[in-house]
Amino acid sequence: MTFSLAIVGRPNVGKSTLFNRLVGKRLALVDDQPGVTRDLREGDARLADLRFTVIDTAGLEDATDDSLQGRMRRLTERAVDMADICLFMIDARVGVTPVDEIFAEILRKRAKHVILAANKGEGSAADAGVLEAWGLGLGEPIRLSAEHGEGMNDLYVQLLPLS
């Protein structure tokens, strides 16, 4: 049986970097239809012997602060409803932000399964942020470095029983 995993979180935490790593090839951000935001991207992911569908949420990057919250909520809710599992990503070097807290609240109420990932976890600059992530009430954070491929084993261990 296969499953789908949606990667959610505020802009710039590293969602697309993880998506690209799981899908294994760079996907061009095609924006050939003016006015159409390609805000959910699907790909076929591989992680060791696991095969699943991964969904990247984008389209928030160009939002102003005013429009961010509503768009974020709608997009996140769509992704959550589509997916069997949500991977909620924060930036461990920044720590937990008020926007992260809003995501966490949506996920606690709505998602079937949540995996919490503290990304940009390479190096000691991430230590405090990883600890802070426990306070989101979403269980043990996985310390990831999507860019360097660290923590993928811990991601596997959390996905395996849900697969």
CA distances from 38 to 32, 34, 59, 113, 143 (A): 10, 10, 7, 25, 29
Return the residue of 5, 6, 8, 15 that touches ligand GDP, per CB under 6 A.
Answer: 15
User: Helix, strand or coil for residue 36?
Assistant: coil
Per CB under 5 A, 76 contacts Mg ion = no
Interacting stretch for Mg ion, rule CB under 5 A, among 10-18, 88-96, 134-142, 145-153? 10-18
Report the alpha-carbon distance of residue 6 to residue 82 in Å, rounded.
8
Per CB under 6 A, 145 contacts ligand GDP = yes
* Binding footprint of Mg ion, residue count (CB under 5 A): 3
Provide the mask over 114-133, with x wherever binding to ligand GDP is found by CB under 6 A and - wherever it is not: -----xx-x-----------
Provide the mask over 34-63, with x wherever binding to ligand GDP is found by CB under 6 A and - wherever it is not: ---------------------------x--
Q: Which is nearer to Mg ion, 58 or 79 (CB)?
A: 58
The full DSSP string for 103-157 is HHHHHHHH-SSEEEEEES-SSGGGHHHHHHHGGGSSSPPEE-BTTTTBTHHHHHH
91 annotated as belonging to a binding site for a ligand: no
Shortest spacing between CB 107 and ligand GDP, in angstroms: 16
CB 87 within 8 A of CB 115: yes
CA distances from 45 to 24, 27, 86 (A): 7, 13, 14
Q: Which is nearer to ligand GDP, 39 or 84 (CB)?
A: 39
Q: Which residues sit at the interface with ligand GDP, rule CB under 6 A?
A: 11-17, 61, 119-120, 122, 145-148
